[in-house]
Structure 1
Amino acid sequence: MFNIFDIRLERGILTQESRILGADCYSLIWVRFGQCVFTFRGKTIICRKNELLLIPAGIPAAELRGTGGIRESMMVRFSPNGAFTTGSLPILARTEPLRWMTHMPELLLEKLLVIVEQWTERDRYFSVMCAALLTELIVTINREVDEGEKAPSSIQHIERMKRYIEDQYRSKITKVEMGTCIGVSPNYAAALFRKVTGLTISEYVHLKRMKTAHYMLQHSQLTVQDISDHLGYSDPSYFNRVFKRIVGKLPSEVSAERTIRE
């Protein structure tokens, strides 16, 4: 478990001067899009879309925040508590920063957004919940790093399957279709998708649908029932449960927020 000192979600154009991160704890940064620039020990690291940067404790670092950069990134600054040893997770035992291109951005985004939500709302026991969620996140990252770089052919297969899902996500998508999409057996396609992305095919489809549903609830006049039908959910109650699990709110709550804004 960890002690968390700060969690930040930043979007848009950054115009501030450089920001000192300090060396008193670890800094974990993930770039969703755009880029972030960091300096340490006279070196410069540029992190771009879907790249992670873990700066160990003990390394003074700074983020260069010049004008004109449009990006979205998340940063968590933390340290292990007294009962935790860095040797339990190899990436925390490193003495140099780790820069890593993740192939499971959807999974990391889902986990990070929950951490940000907990940290922002500060409900009872939020610090314990954030520490538990961060532990799960670090373990997920460490497992991906342990497995090493994926074969180019595997990445190509994943990108083809993702594109297929982007085109067909409103319909039922199975591992049979995924196997046909990349010319392999259904079981191999499903196993490869899970191994690389950290998500099952079904979980990925639900994430895509809920992202679309959230946008439609915020920016259209459609009802929850209309959106549920549009996204291929014949059972509205099931749609509500999936939306609540992924987004953290009920569709009706998001729709009500739209009404208040209007």
Structure 2
Amino acid sequence: MFNIFEIRQERGQIAGDRRMLGSECYTLVWVRFGQCTFDAKGRTFVCGKNELLLIPAGCPAAEIKGAGAIRDFMLIRFSPASPEATGLLPILSLRDPLRWATRMPELLFEKLLHIVGQWSDRSRYYTVMCSALLMELLVTVNREFDEGEKAPSAIQHVERMKQYIEEHYRTRITKLELGACIRVSPNYAASLFRSITGMTISEYVHMIRMRTAQFMLRHSQLSVQDISDYLGYSDPSFFNRTFKRTVGKLPSALIAERTRRE
């Protein structure tokens, strides 16, 4: 497990300064959009959309902020709770910073949001939960790194399937439809989708629905029942369970937050 020293998400314009990160722990950065620049081990790393940067412990680093740019990124600074924990994952044994363009940004974004939410809420045992979620995230990243680069054609197929899902997510989507979308067998489509994104077709559909649900719960006047129906859930209790499992809160909690703001 891990000791976590800092978790933050930054959005918007960058202030023009330089922030030292120190060398006592690892620094993990994921860029959702825009660019982040770091100096580490005598090199400058410019990370763009969907790129990860893992700076190992013992490597002094600085975050460089340029005036005027807009970005959205998440940063976690941590150290293994014991020396043995470092050997559990190969990426933690690297001596040089690792920059990696992930093929599964949606999955990593959901995992990172969960970690940021736990850290911000500071609920009971939140440090234990954040440590467990961080381990899950690092395992996902290490597996992807082990597999290496995927063929461009495979990535293009998955991007077309994602586009199809995002256009039809309110209806029932099957591997038969996605196979037809990219002209391959249904089983191959499902297998390819999971190998690239780290998610099943069903998990991806629910993720898109839950993201839409959060926006609607915060910014519309619709009830939970109305939103559940709109997103294609015939059973409101199933919608509630799926939302709680994905977001960590019940839909009613977001309705309550909306009411307080009003």
Q: TM-score, normalised by structure 1?
A: 0.97
Whole-Å Cα distance in 2 between the matches of residues 132 and 85 of structure 1?
13
Aligned to 2:214: 214
Deviates most, 75-84 or 235-244: 75-84
Query: 1:80 deviation in Å?
Result: 1.1
C-alpha spacing 1:85/1:249, structure 2 compared with 1 (3 Å): closer
Deviates most, 110-119 or 91-100: 110-119
What is the letter of the counterpart of residue 49 of structure 2? K
Aligned to 1:247: 247
Whole-Å Cα distance in 1 between the matches of residues 142 and 190 of structure 2?
22
Aligned to 2:173: 173
1:88 counterpart SS class: coil
Is 2:194 the partner of 1:201?
no
What is the letter of the counterpart of residue 203 of structure 2? E
Equivalent positions of 1:151-162 (< 5 A) are: 151-162=151-162
Write out per-residue CA displacement over residues 89-121 of structure 1, whole angstroms, 9 at most, x where no aligned residue.
111111110000001111111111111111122
Whole-Å Cα distance in 1 between the matches of residues 255 and 122 of structure 2?
23
Is 2:254 the partner of 1:257?
no
Moved over 4 A (4+): none
Whole-Å Cα distance in 2 between the matches of residues 125 and 217 of structure 1?
27
Aligned to 1:39: 39
What is the letter of the counterpart of residue 214 of structure 2? H
Whole-Å Cα distance in 1 between the matches of residues 148 and 185 of structure 2?
24
Is 2:44 the partner of 1:50?
no
Whole-Å Cα distance in 2 between the matches of residues 85 and 128 of structure 1?
15
Whole-Å Cα distance in 2 between the matches of residues 224 and 87 of structure 1?
46
Whole-Å Cα distance in 1 between the matches of residues 82 and 256 of structure 2?
44
What is the letter of the counterpart of residue 139 of structure 2? V
Query: 1:42 deviation in Å?
Result: 3.1
Is 2:113 the partner of 1:108?
no
What is the letter of the counterpart of residue 175 of structure 1? K
C-alpha spacing 1:186/1:30, structure 2 compared with 1 (3 Å): same
Query: 1:83 deviation in Å?
Result: 5.4
Contact 2:40 2:97 in 1 (8 A): no
Segments of 5+ residues of structure 2 without an aligned counterpart are: none
Aligned residues: 262
Contact 2:225 2:236 in 1 (8 A): yes
2:176 counterpart SS class: helix
Deviates most, 8-17 or 176-185: 8-17
Query: 1:252 deviation in Å?
Result: 1.5
Segments of 5+ residues of structure 1 without an aligned counterpart are: none
Q: Percent identity?
A: 68
What is the letter of the counterpart of residue 234 of structure 2? S
- Aligned-pair Cα RMSD in Å: 1.1
Whole-Å Cα distance in 1 between the matches of residues 209 and 223 of structure 2?
16
Query: 1:137 deviation in Å?
Result: 0.8
Whole-Å Cα distance in 1 between the matches of residues 83 and 97 of structure 2?
24
Write out per-residue CA displacement over residues 191-245 of structure 1, whole angstroms, 9 at most, x where no aligned residue.
1111110100000000101111111111111111111111111111111111111
Aligned to 2:94: 94
What is the letter of the counterpart of residue 147 of structure 2? E
Write out per-residue CA displacement over residues 43-101 of structure 1, whole angstroms, 9 at most, x where no aligned residue.
21110111000001111111111211211111111111225342321111111100000
Contact 2:40 2:55 in 1 (8 A): no
